[in-house]
Amino acid sequence: MASHSIRWDATPKSIHFRTPAPILIAVEEVDPVVTTTRADPVADALTGCASGDQAAMAILYDLTSAKVYGLSLRVLRNPAQAEEVAQEIYLEAWQNSTTFDAARGTGLAWLLTITHRRAVDRVRSAQASTRRDTTYGLEDLATAPEDPADTAIASLEAQRVRGAMTGLTDLQREAVELAYFGGRTHREVADALDVPLGTVKTRIRDGLTRLRSALGGD
């Protein structure tokens, strides 16, 4: 019986692994999110004042005092009066901080609105005083004794001016007094009354025309 040998090929077959193709995933580019939150430290300080926080009052002053004083000075043209108004503003801000509404504007705008209103009130008060002291009486002059004749003439002139001024409208009288009795420029009068420069010039021109007519001028 013939013998048969079995031959084993012990060499393993090569196994080849195929690298799978890369999977491509489409990624949509998204714009970065932009936040629009605005910080308003003045409004925050006013909120603190409304709750009685005195430290918030100090912060409010530090943040705004330069602007409050600057606006007061621009309207009043008097540093001492501007300082007084600024002090009044912070007292009013402390007392009325609960009325501030952030939805209606910034904290600084609220504060400067109060500042402008109070400064204009001070100008009008000074104007009324000038009217009493100057327009309706002519201030006493110099220190030397006055000649009785000069005094009589001045009194008559004062009466004429007083009568002529009553013939002006309130707006004309206001502008003329600030310009000629208050010694202000047309621009300063416009700032004090918070009206356009052209409007002030018209009021002064019309007022002077009426005065000339009333006093018998050309």
> What pLDDT was estimated at residue 11?
47
> What pLDDT was estimated at residue 138?
46
Please provide residue 89's backbone torsions phi and psi, each rounded to the nearest 5 degrees: -60, -45
Burial of 46: CB neighbours in 10 Å, binned 0-12, 13-18, 19+:
buried
Under 8 Å between Cβ of 127 and 178: yes
20-to-14, 17, 23 alpha-carbon distances in Å? 19, 9, 9
pTM of the model: 0.46
User: Hunting for tokens 């926080």 — which residue is that?
Assistant: 53
> What pLDDT was estimated at residue 133?
53
List helix spans (H) across 8-53: 41-50
Give every residue of the chain whose pLDDT is below 70, as ranges. 1-38, 127-162, 180-182, 216-218
Token pair listed for 105? 């504007």
> What pLDDT was estimated at residue 65?
93
Per-position DSSP letters for 65-96, written without gaps between them: HHHHHHHHHHHH--HHHHHHHHHHHHHHHHHH
